[in-house]
Amino acid sequence: MTLELALDYLYTQLPMYQRVGAAAMKKDLRNITTLCEALGNPHEKFKSIHIAGTNGKGSTAHMLSAILQADGLKTGLYTSPHYRDFRERIKIDGQYVTEQFVVDFVERNKPLFEQIQPSFFEITVAMAFQYFAESEVDIAVIETGLGGRLDSTNILSPILSIITNISYDHQQFLGDTLPEIATEKAGIIKPNTPVVISERQEEVAHVFEKIAAERNAPIYFATDYFDIKEKEISLVGNTYHVYPLLPTPPALKGESTRLSGEMWADSPLGAGGEKSYLLKTDLYGNYQSKNLYGVLFSEKILNEEKIILNEESKFKGLQQVKSLANFIGRWQVISEKPLTVCDSGHNTAGIYEVVNQLTTLPHRELHIVMGMVRDKDHEKVIKLLPKDATYYIAKPDIPRGMDAEKLTEKFVQVGLRTRAYASVPDALRIAQEQAHEDDLVFVGGSIFVVGEVI
């Protein structure tokens, strides 16, 4: 069997949410439990960090992976979906899972798959767990798919759970209100296991507190403990000023090495005698500051959980997220003249951040190449978009993709300058041809659109 045949089997023989949507969803954890039991429960053979949330899961996972790698730990990373290459989903120290492992895993376990009838996602999760176990990683960072409670990754017993934020997405599976969505995400909270909530959101904080209390899980809202302010912003990275608000809980002081020198800012001592400090990342995007809250507080938790990190690791790791963790698709520069960037924000909260970010980039005129999938709230997204941009609409090259002509009609109805194109590459080519060298071209609306241009 070749890699092409193995992937063809995964894509065509199994229900795959990325392609077909709700038909691929499973209602419980029986399949993944049975599958992993047959494989010898590989998920029990390595330490893990489990991440859920509406937006920011991927960024948080990659930042944490980079920090752990910078500390010398052999680090597994599982994320979804992928942009172009299936192997993006499963990485160790930023390197994709080997082609041979994918082929061998599929070929060896086909009889098991035919017996259990798992989904594409369930097989991929089991593959990642097996790869990390056989590779003897020191720790793995695991991102959930849609929810949390019924997500296939939720058979893990992690040393730390992280929930990034809650906003509206996938309501058909997770609920129509933020508390309902939060309840599904909170399903990753495990008994006696700490959970970090990146952002305190008053509408859902009580949900997390209630479930954590029921499971005797220590809970920390990262935004309670420090504030993060942008200091310098550029497409090659951001610099932040981190200000302590509350003293770090004594139990989380850990054994990490205190820093001295230029990384500490010249500013008064913060709460509990802790200094503020400057932090540089190689990531662009205002929304990354929201993800940093959870990342920075999680580093304190890991010290308590006997993953003793030298404090310099977070500084080194966050400055090399793209190279260490192989991070792609978020405010990635495609070309310089005209400046062309892409980002995979796709729900209302993600598009809101995208639109805000676009206003910070200098440009003469704005050209937006966009496509969406059918099961998103198109009207709410369209209402957020800039009125003075020119739109180039194309269907993402997946069965779930929204027909370009139908989506264009929705744009035209609200008065946006819009045309439909045969494909995402065609739309991008024409947008760049029509743009002046001082214009800005943005590509987004769906991770699958971004995957066709990077």
Q: How far is CA 366 from CA 300, 340, 348, in A?
A: 42, 10, 20
User: Is the predicted pLDDT of residue 273 greater than 60, yes or no?
Assistant: no
Point out the domain boundary residue: 325, 353, 388.
325
401 is in which domain, residue-wise?
332-451
Please determine, for residue 240, whether its predicted confidence score (pLDDT) is greater than 50.
yes
The one-letter amino acid code at 309 reads: L
- 296: nearest Cα among 235, 230, 248, 259: 248
145 compared with 74, residue with greater pLDDT? 74
Give CA–CA dist 58/137, Å, rounded.
Answer: 20
Domain CATH for 307: 3.40.1190.10
- Give pLDDT, residue 295: 97
pLDDT tier at 256, thresholds 50, 70, 90: very low
Domain shared by 166 and 144, yes or no: yes
User: What pLDDT is recorded for position 173?
Assistant: 54
Mean pLDDT of 429-449: 96
Same domain, 315 and 339: no
Give the model's confidence band at 340: pLDDT under 50 very low, under 70 low, under 90 confident, else very high: very high
CB 346 within 8 A of CB 446: yes
**Looking at residue 353, which CATH number applies to its domain?**
3.90.190.20
Ramachandran category for residue 329: left, alpha or beta (phi over 0 → left; psi -120 to 50 → alpha): left
Give yes or no: residues 389 and 305 share one domain. Answer: no
Residue where a domain terminates, one of 325, 357, 382: 325
Q: SS3 letters for 137-202? A: CCEEEEECCCCCCCCHHHHCCCCEEEECCCCCCCHHHHCCCHHHHHHHHHHHCCCCCCEEECCCCH
Task: Name the more confident of 425 and 248.
Answer: 425
- Distance CA(404)–CA(424), nearest Å, equals 10
Q: Are residues 68 and 192 in the same domain?
A: yes
Looking at 233-237, 366-370, 385-389, which range is the least confident one? 233-237
Residues 76 and 112 in one domain: yes
Res. 105: pLDDT tops 90: yes
pLDDT for residue 48 is more than 80: yes
Q: H-helix or E-strand containing 354?
A: helix 348-358
Q: List the structure tokens of 2.
A: 């070749």
160: helix, strand or coil: strand
pLDDT of 115 reads: 93
According to DSSP, residue 373 is labeled: B
Count the domains in the chain.
Answer: 2
What average pLDDT does range 249-253 have in this prediction? 59
Question: Which of 297, 325, 353 represents a domain boundary (last residue)?
Answer: 325
Do 262 and 410 fall within a single domain?
Answer: no
Strand pairing partners for 139? Answer: 47, 75
For the cut 70, the answer to whether the pLDDT of residue 245 exceeds it is yes
| Number of neighbours of residue 250 by Cβ within 10 angstroms | 7
Highest mean pLDDT among 161-170, 289-298, 375-384: 289-298
Between 4-8, 10-14, 20-24, 182-186, the lowest mean confidence (pLDDT) is in: 20-24
Residues 294, 354 within the same domain: no
Helix axes 178-185, 202-214, angle to 10 degrees: 30
Residue with tokens 């599904």: 184
Residues 177 and 111 grouped into a single domain: yes
pLDDT in tens, 392-420: 999 999 888 999 999 999 999 999 999 99
- Predicted model pTM: 0.91
User: 147 or 421, which is more confident?
Assistant: 421
Whether residues 120 and 259 fall in one domain: yes
pLDDT of residue 270: 46
User: Is 404 in the same domain as 288?
Assistant: no
pLDDT beyond 50 at 88: yes
What pLDDT, in 10s, does the model give residues 11-43? 876 665 455 555 555 678 999 999 999 999 999
- Take residue 317 and report the two structure tokens written for it: 């790791």
Do 279 and 313 reside in the same domain of the chain? yes
Q: What was the pLDDT predicted at 294?
A: 96
Do both 312 and 364 map to the same domain? Answer: no
State residue 349's pLDDT score.
Answer: 86
Q: What is the mean pLDDT of residues 283-304?
A: 90
- pLDDT tier for residue 169 given thresholds of 50, 70 and 90: low
